[in-house]
A and B are shown apart, each in its own frame.
Chain A
Amino acid sequence: MIRVNNFTKTYNDFVAVQDLTFNVAAGDILGLVGPNGAGKTTTMRVLSGIIPPGSGELSVAGHDIVSDPIAAKQVLGYIPDDPRLFDTLTVWEHLEFIAAAYGVANYQPTAEALLQFFNLDEKRHHVVQSLSRGMRQKVAIACAYLHQPEVILFDEPLTGLDPAGIRAIKESMRERARQGAAIIISSHLLGLVESLCTHLLVLHQGQCQCFGRMDDVLRAFDDAKDDTTLEDVFFSITHSDEIQPG
């Protein structure tokens, strides 16, 4: 469903992502982890069509994001790390616009269900400016779900959410994957990634350090002890737990 081949992205002289290759099949959830500046957000933004790739081939549901961007975006849902919405529009108006943008006919029942699922029912006529960050995050996710995307990209999806919201969104991710969506979650919350994702990709300084099924990756690093966690794997790969002498 998502294919990335030899993807490289540079900003002037700085190489943000170098020669990245991976695939995500329908129903899979890929966890994209790495330290700050590893290239996670760049990868997500390129896949979502916000910025163009430098080189390489990237396709979403069979549509190349460079040569056929609109078809690719038609089946894609993107939830950015910061839920920026149109300040003066209400929750319902956001859904109304998204339905028009993606050509969702008879969107009202789906929109109603999403509002109920995310506990936004009472807030439907509130302008988003008046909502908390967590609420706005839920609105952004509801907007991304409305057109039933085949590919969903989450960039730090749980920031600002309360425990009930976190549970609801985790459950919704699993449900979407069960329905056949390919999902990528970029996050620093290693516990979330470990519990939710079927696959793992570790980026460090723009390069892929490790990619595969979650179980396989954890198994590959369990030489020293039996209960290896993703946190152990992460620090083992990135060496970012080493304290530099002052």
Chain B
Amino acid sequence: MDTALVKLLMLRFRGGVRHRLQELKTLRGLLFMCVTIAVLVLLVKQSSLPNPLLDTVQSGPEQLRAQFARLMPMGLLAACLLTVFTSSGPAIHFSPSEINLLFSGPFSRRALLLYKICFYIFGALLSSLLITILVPGFAHSLLAIFLGAFLTLMFIQLFSAVIGLVSQLLVGYCYVPVRRSHVIILLVALMAVLVWYLAGIGNGLAGALTLFQSSLVGTLVLAPFGVFVNVFLAPSIYPGLLGWAVLGFAINAALLAVIILLDGHSYEASVAASLKLHKRWVQARRSGLLWGAQPVRVRSFRKPPFIGGVGPIAWRQLLAALRISSKPVLVFLGVAMLAGPLVVIAAADISMWSRIGFVFFVAVYVLPRTLVFDFRSDLDTLENFKALPLQHWKLGVGQLVAPVLLTSLVELVLLGSVAMFLDGTQRVIIVGMMPFLVPFNLLLYGLENLLFLMFPTPLVPVGRVDFDFLGRTMVEFMVKTMLLVGACALAAGAGMRVLDMTERSWPASVSVAWLSLTLIALLMLPLLGWAFDRFDISRR
């Protein structure tokens, strides 16, 4: 590689380290790093215990290895497909600074590609180090975990790059009358049919996976992924680990060769896609996840009534939601529809608490970080709202309408799907949870926005080892969880009290619990108004 590009890599590495060290000079940065390390230590300790997520039966290393060998190829396949379908354009992206300074500099395209691949390799090495520290001790050596993680991460990156380049080449050379969204819809539909079919067989998750893996299609499709699984599970350094690692390297090298060969055909598209991606990053830094920041054309709809000034604010956010995140919302709705059959399939393999924990994590972390249509998406334009002739609590109401409604809709579909596959008391409980969705989400998004207005920061990390972001996210998640659980406990307590007083009248009890939760959620509105009042634009 060009020596100047090697120098640039070193300078950027030094700059990154300097940036992190400067963060640690502040009390806040130091605290967040301590929190991050504390949580990592807890995770490492926890990972040495038996994993309840994978099996209801207590698992030893041998069982874990067997489960890993069974699940990992499918997981890798899913990760590759997800990377391919959630990325836009070629997977080798250059930042605007690289385009301005390097593309106009005296470098060959191949040198620039190698520079970028080195960048990815460095990122993959850091991630692999983290994985080596965190994963359960099922492998025979730490080296196996490190090499396995590194080769796997590189494979996913290179594989998606090759698929992106090939599809670009096909589109460039011949007219392809199939749009990507159609392919995604077709795949989701196929998956839905598969999941519902497997749910009907009733063999559980393990049975379904075995069925697929033993089929001819499954064997062929999963064969390349098996190499990387074997790196993780190699029983000895030589010949096991060495042999599989060399094979893994060879696969990645072959993919890299294909990228270099094909990339010359997509030079311009690469620039365009890189700039497009950068715009999405800028949007994502303001408004959450990257894949939730891809604008689509949606026609405007009629203006809503004024409703004391709340209407126009809510209308604007709903329109933004449709234009920016209609795809993620559709994906969430699709996944929510599959929740019922998935619960049936996974019932035998995944414990109830793991399922509840997973749904809680999605509801409290993933959805609010994806459906960002409130104060958090307006960080750069909050001064416009300050100038509006509108009371701040009303502004808060308008800002919360879109995320609360969309999240509640996704969760309603999820609960409905699950309820269809359950019966008796379980179905009644699920249906009984439905009215609580709106007040719960009002409380959740109220808290999200309250924390954001009090400590405004971008919603995505800067680089891989952003302690400030990691620490802040963990602290926020813990605070939110405590407050949400506390509020739900209060509401449930009020409901139980009424149950005792009314000789077990469930409708009265549920009504009181609902009212209690709603009142607590409504308390967020004046708090939001207060937080927006004290938000100082000039100090941002």
Q: Interface of A with B (CB < 8 Å)?
A: 48-52, 70-71, 73-74, 76, 78, 80, 82-90, 93, 96-98, 100-102, 127, 140, 143
Contact = CB atoms under 8 A, between A and B. Distances in A.
21 contacts: A48-B103, A48-B104, A50-B99, A51-B267, A70-B108, A73-B107, A82-B96, A84-B96, A84-B100, A84-B101, A86-B97, A87-B97, A88-B15, A89-B11, A90-B15, A93-B11, A96-B7, A100-B4, A100-B7, A101-B105, A102-B106
B3 A86 contact: no
Kindly list the 9 A-B residue pairs having the minimum CB-CB distance in the complex, ordered from nearest.
A88-B15, A100-B4, A101-B4, A84-B96, A78-B104, A84-B97, A48-B104, A50-B103, A74-B106
Nearest to A80: B100
Contacts of A90: 15
A74 B2 CA distance: 14
Contact of B4 (A83, A86, A97, A140): A97
A80 B2 CA distance: 24
A202 B16 CA distance: 44
Nearest to B269: A51
Contacts of B95: 84
Contacts of A73: 104-107
Contacts of A51: 267-268, 271
A98 B106 CA distance: 10
Contact of B101 (A49, A71, A143): A143
B19 interface: yes
A127 B15 contact: yes
A74 B3 CA distance: 15
Contact of A86 (B12, B107, B267): B12
A49 B104 contact: yes
Contacts, number: 82
Mostly, the B contact residues are helix
A118 B82 CA distance: 48
B242 to A, nearest CB: 37
Contact of A52 (B18, B97, B267): B267
Interface in B56-102: 95-97, 99-101
Interface in B1-25: 2-5, 7-8, 11-12, 15-16, 18-19
A104 to B, nearest CB: 10
Contacts of B5: 101
B95 to A, nearest CB: 7
B268 A52 contact: yes
A19 B95 CA distance: 31
Interface string B226-249: 000000000000000000000000
A85 B268 contact: no
B3 A100 contact: yes
Contact of A50 (B15, B104, B108): B104
Nearest to A50: B103
Contacts of B15: 86-90, 93, 127
A140 B19 CA distance: 21
B11 A85 contact: no
B26 to A, nearest CB: 15
A71 B107 CA distance: 10
A98 B5 CA distance: 10
A70 B111 CA distance: 12
B457 to A, nearest CB: 16
Interface in B90-147: 95-97, 99-101, 103-108
A97 B100 contact: no
Most chain A CB neighbours (cut-off 10 Å) among B7, B8, B107: B8
Contacts of A49: 103-104
